[in-house]
Amino acid sequence: MTRRKFGSEFKIEAVKLVTERGVSVAQAARDLDLAESVLRRWMRELATAPATAFPGNGQQRADLAEIAALKKEVAKLKIDELALAKGDGRIAARMKSLAKVDLLILDDWGLEPLEGNARHHLLEIIEDRYGRRSTLVTSQLPIARWHELIGNPTYADAILDRLVHNAHRLEITGDPLRRITQAGA
């Protein structure tokens, strides 16, 4: 059996499949033709000492710094966090930071209906970002049901007008990837 050598870039991309893209370790290892133990070792090495995990020509440290900088430009909005921020007086600072982030992600949006304060905060955030910054919304609900989810027709019109007006929509059909990978395992 020949031992293969992998460069740092390959190792980082392999780890990112699991840590950032949500692919299971088993699936990623199969897709990359690796042993699961190898991929898990790379994950441990990168988690414990990211700057020195995969020594290279110095580009590795620059790549990690770039990844850290990119993470500062992306935020994932959790509506419950805003209620907590309002309770402890951090709401203005949190709203300001969400308005400035380059990409705001509303992931699995619509799992629960919005209540009054959440509607108001979401409208403020979307309004501050409209035409200036990107917002990514993932939802299992069709857009036609978002009005009832928001609850108040005035807020729903205002929020959806800003979200949907210049949006690029991708509607994905078929079985969820998790179900497909579980069936194949």
Output the six-digit token pair for 33: 């033709």
Q: What is the pLDDT of residue 183?
A: 66
Angstrom CA distances, 97 to 14, 69, 159, stand at 31, 15, 19
**How remote is the C-alpha of 90 from its chain's centroid?**
23
Q: Which fold has domain 8-70?
A: Arc Repressor Mutant, subunit A (1.10.10)
Residuewise pLDDT in 10s, the chain (185 residues): 556 777 777 788 888 878 777 778 888 888 888 888 888 888 887 776 555 555 553 444 555 555 554 444 455 556 666 667 777 777 778 778 777 778 888 877 788 888 878 888 888 888 888 888 888 888 888 888 888 888 889 999 998 998 888 888 877 777 766 676 666 65
Q: How many CB atoms lie within 10 A of CB 64?
A: 18
Report whether 110 contacts 140 (CB < 8 A): yes
Domain boundaries, the chain: 8-70, 77-164
Q: Which amino acid makes up residue 59?
A: Q
According to DSSP, residue 89 is labeled: T
Q: Which residue matches tokens 């949190």?
A: 94
Which phi and psi angles does 118 have, rounded to 5°? -65, -40
Q: Find the helix packing angle between 79-87 and 91-100, rounded to 10°.
A: 140
The CATH class, in words, for 77-164 is: alpha beta
Q: What is the pLDDT of residue 79?
A: 64
Question: pTM of the full predicted structure?
Answer: 0.53
Question: Which among 57, 97, 47, 60 has a CA at the least distance from the CA of 77?
Answer: 97
Burial class from Cβ neighbours inside 10 Å (0-12, 13-18, 19+) for residue 16 reads middle
